[in-house]
Amino acid sequence: MNTIPQPEADAQSVRPFILVKAFTFASLIVMLVATIAIAALNAHWVRNILLEKNIEYNSLLVENLNHQIFLRFIAPVVYQHGEIMLREKSQHQLLDAVIKSTLHSFHVEMVNIYGTDNIIGYSFDESRVGTENAGGVHYEKAMKNQATSKLIQKGSFLELMFWFPQETKIITFAPLIQEVQLSRSEEQMVLGVIEVIRDISGDYQKVFKLQGLIVVSCAIIMGILFLILRFVVKRGEKIIEHRAEERLRLEEKLRQTEHLSAIGEMTAGVSHEIRNPLGIIKSSAQLMRKKMDKLDPTSRIPDIIVEESTRLDHIIKDFLDFAKPKIPDLRPCSLEDVVEKNLTFLASQIEEAQIQIIKNYQGNLPEILADTAMLYQTFLNILLNSFQALKENGVITICTWSESDQVHISFTDNGAGISEDVIKKIWTPFFTTKDTGTGLGLGIVKNIIEAHKGQIHISNVQPLGTCVEIALPA
C-alpha cells in the first residue's frame, strides 16, 4: 500500500488551515486598526467643525456686542460728554450694564476691551483694568481690522495627547468699529479691540465622549468577532485532529487487514498442504490400532496418533475458518431458538460443572436474517469461554432485547474478568492466554458477526465478571 508519510500528510492538511487562520487574524487586526483610525479621523473632523462653528458664533457675538456698545454707550457718551473716559464711574457702570445685558445667557466667561494704546480699559476681571501690552499679536491684527480666534486647551500631557483636555476655551479678538461716521473721513475708525473668551469644554467633552464611545464600540465588536473567530478556529482544529485520528485508525486497520490477509493466504495454503498427509496419517494410525490389538493390546501408541491427528485437524479447521470465512446463508431465524440449541447441547457440561444459567429473554423479538449454523458456532465458542472462566458457584446470565432496528444478546459471567492489558489484545489473531489453543476462536466469532453486519463488544462488569454483547440487524 502506498501511503503518504504521516508528518508530510499532517503538514499538507494543516498548512492551508494555518494560512487561513493567519489571514483571518491579520484581517481582524487590520479591521480593528482601520476602524479606530476612521473613528479618530471622524472625531477630528467633528472637532474641526465644532471649532469653525464656535469661531463663527464668537464672530456674530462680537459683532452684536460691537453694535450694542456703539449704539448704547459710545454714541450717547460722546454726544453728552464729548469724550469717553472709563475712569469715570458712571461711564464704567453704563458700559458694564450694556455688555452684561447683551451677553446675558451666552455663557461668556471673560470680556476685555482694549484701547488704541493696547491698555485694557474694561474687563470682567477688574484687576486687569489698566494692564498694558496684554493683547499681543492678536491685538495688532484686530487694530488692522482683522478678527482672529484661537483655541486654548489645558490638561496633563496624557490628556492633551489623547485629546481629552480638562478645559477648552476659544478666544476671539475683534476690532471695536465706529459704525456711524462722526467725521468726514471715509475709513471706518477702529476705536479699540474687543476680546471675548468663551468656555466650550462641555461641547468638546461631548465630542470626546462620542469618540470614546465609537472606539469602545469598535473594540467590543472586534472582541466579539475575535471570540467567534477563536471558536471557529478551535472547532476547525478539533475537526482536523479528529480527521487525522480517523485517518490513522483507517490506515492502521488497513495495515492490519493486509497483514491478516497475508497471514490468511499463507495459513490457507499451508493448512491445505498439511491436511491431506494428516488424513493419511490418521487413517494409517487407525489401521495400525486394529493390527496392534492382535499383537499388543496394551499399546496406546496408535490411539495417541489418532487423538493428536484429530486435534491437529481441529487446529487446521480453525485456521481455514479464520483465513477464508464462509459466506453466511441468510435465512429468517429466531435468536433465542439458536441459544436454546446451544444450551441443550451443553446441558451435560452445565450439569457437571454445576453452572447456573439465568435467562432474561425479552420475548417476541424480531426475527433476524442469519446463518443459524454460524450463529450456533459463535454462541458455542462464547459459552465455552465462559465455562473456562468460571470456578465454583458459576453463573451465566443470558439477556436478549431489541432497540430500534437491532436485536441484542449478551452473555455475562461472574468469573474473574479480563485484565486491561489482555482486553486490548483480545481480538489479535493467535493471541491466547491458554496453554492450548490457537488464539483464533474470538477472531472467528468476530468474523462471523461482521459477516452478518453486526457488532460485538467485550467488557468487564462490576464487581467481577465479563460481558460479551452482540448486536445484529433485525
Beta bridge partners of 167: 154
Which are the contacts of 343, defined by CB distance < 8 A and separation ≥ 6? 350, 357, 383
Is 357 domain-assigned? yes
Yes or no: say if 223 and 94 are a contact pair by the CB < 8 Å rule.
no
Is 412 domain-assigned? yes
pLDDT value of position 112: 92
Is 9 domain-assigned? no
Nearest to 135 by CA among 165, 112, 158, 156: 112
pLDDT value of position 4: 41
Beta bridge partners of 153: 168
The secondary structure of the chain, three-state, reads CCCCCHHHHHHHHHHHHHHHHHHHHHHHHHHHHHHHHHHHHHHHHHHHHHHHHHHHHHHHHHHHHHHHHHHHHHHHHHHHHCCCCCCCHHHHHHHHHHHHHHCCCCCEEEEEEECCCCEEEEECCHHHCCCECCCHHHHHHHHCCCCEEEEEEECCHHHHHCCCCCEEEEEEEEEEECCCCCCCCCCCCEEEEEEEEEECHHHHHHHHHHHHHHHHHHHHHHHHHHHHHHHHHHHHHHHHHHHHHHHHHHHHHHHHHHHHHHHHHHHHHHHHHHHHHHHHHHHHHHHHHHHHHHHCCCCCHHHHHHHHHHHHHHHHHHHHHHHCCCCCCCEEECHHHHHHHHHHHCHHHHHHHCCEEEEECCCCCCCEEECHHHHHHHHHHHHHHHHHHCCCCCEEEEEEEEECCEEEEEEEECCCCCCHHHHHCCCCCCCCCCCCCCCCHHHHHHHHHHHCCCEEEEEECCCCCEEEEEEEEC
The Cα 59–Cα 236 span in angstroms is: 63
Beta bridge partners of 112: 123, 195
pLDDT value of position 268: 63
Is 415 domain-assigned? yes
Grouped pLDDT means (10 residues each) for the chain, 474 residues:
45 58 74 74 77 86 88 85 83 88 85 90 89 88 89 74 74 86 62 89 77 77 79 81 86 77 67 69 74 71 74 67 70 89 88 87 85 87 84 85 88 82 68 60 78 86 84 88
Is 410 domain-assigned? yes
Yes or no: say if 124 and 139 are a contact pair by the CB < 8 Å rule.
no
pLDDT value of position 1: 40
Is 400 domain-assigned? yes
Parallel, antiparallel, or unpaired for β 395-403 and 356-360?
A: parallel
Nearest to 443 by CA among 287, 359, 320: 320
> What sign for the dihedral angle of Cα 82, 84, 88, 91?
positive
**Grid coordinates belonging to 189:** 475708525
Yes or no: say if 406 and 470 are a contact pair by the CB < 8 Å rule.
no
Q: Which long-range contacts (CB under 8 A, 24 or more apart) does 164-169 make?
A: 164/205, 164/208, 164/212, 165/201, 165/204, 166/201, 167/199, 167/201, 168/199, 168/200, 168/201, 168/203, 168/204, 169/109, 169/197, 169/198, 169/199, 169/200, 169/201
**Domain count within the chain:** 1
For residue 458, the domain's CATH number is 3.30.565.10
pLDDT value of position 9: 47
Is 268 domain-assigned? no
The Cα 455–Cα 467 span in angstroms is: 14
pLDDT value of position 292: 72
Is 136 domain-assigned? no
The Cα 63–Cα 180 span in angstroms is: 14
Give the domain extent around 419. 328-473
The residue with cell 431458538 is: 337
- Phi first, then psi: what are they for 407, rounded to 5°? -115, 130
pTM value surpassing 0.75: no
